[in-house]
Amino acid sequence: MLISSFLTLVFSAHALAGTSMKPGSWKIQTKMSTDGKAQVDPMAAMGEALKKMPAAQRKMVEEAMNKAMKEQGQSGLKMDKDGVTVCYTKDMLDSDLGLKKQYETQKCNISNYIKSDSSISLSFLCPDGAKGDLKMTITDPTHFNGITKMVSAKGVASEIITTAQFVSEKCQ
């Protein structure tokens, strides 16, 4: 579940395509709340969990996460306690970058999809009844932020707030 939540956050951020963002390394941070109560940041929790794993196990998890990202057209994943760093190439920024594929993999329907150089928004409805809305905005070529509001199949409301900052033209 933690990996799935983590990938959802990363792929949602990847969908902010457009030439207004600078290609290179980006640091992404998230804050999550459920029914109005702050939750542990899944990216930070995953980073902390990875640090505590034996080297062989950590390598396996990192390889699995990188493989999942590559299947979605993503690369350059690095995690630490402050969030996750990802690599955005110009081609990636000019495409959809796996957001639609991510939801299709989960067999969710996407509606109200609107994308521009400065924002992306959509609504989703999944077969289990989970649904939500995502809105992300590029504030300038080196920053973006977003909010995803969702309701699980069991009626639990969650909100994910994402912020991202350009780090370097070089991908790690």
Task: Encode pLDDT of 127-140 as tens digits.
Answer: 999 999 989 888 99
In whole angstroms, give the CA distance from residue 117 to residue 105: 25
Cut 0.85: pTM above it = no
Amino acid letter for position 172: Q
Kindly give the confidence (pLDDT) of every residue in the chain, 172 residues in length, as a single tens digit, with 9 standing for 90 and above: 444 444 455 545 545 544 478 888 888 888 888 888 877 766 666 767 777 878 888 778 777 776 766 665 555 667 666 678 888 888 777 765 556 667 777 788 989 988 887 888 889 999 999 999 989 888 999 998 989 999 999 999 999 998 999 999 988 6
Domain span at residue 32 reads 2-168
Domain count of the fold of the chain? 1
Residue 122 CA: distances (Å) to CA of 23, 147, 162: 23, 11, 15
How would you class 16 by CB atoms within 10 Å of its CB: exposed for 0-12, middle for 13-18, buried for 19 or more? buried
In whole angstroms, give the CA distance from residue 150 to residue 156: 8
In whole angstroms, give the CA distance from residue 108 to residue 150: 13
In whole angstroms, give the CA distance from residue 17 to residue 11: 11
Cα 94–chain centre separation: 17
The number of CA neighbours under 13 Å toward the Cβ of 61 is 20
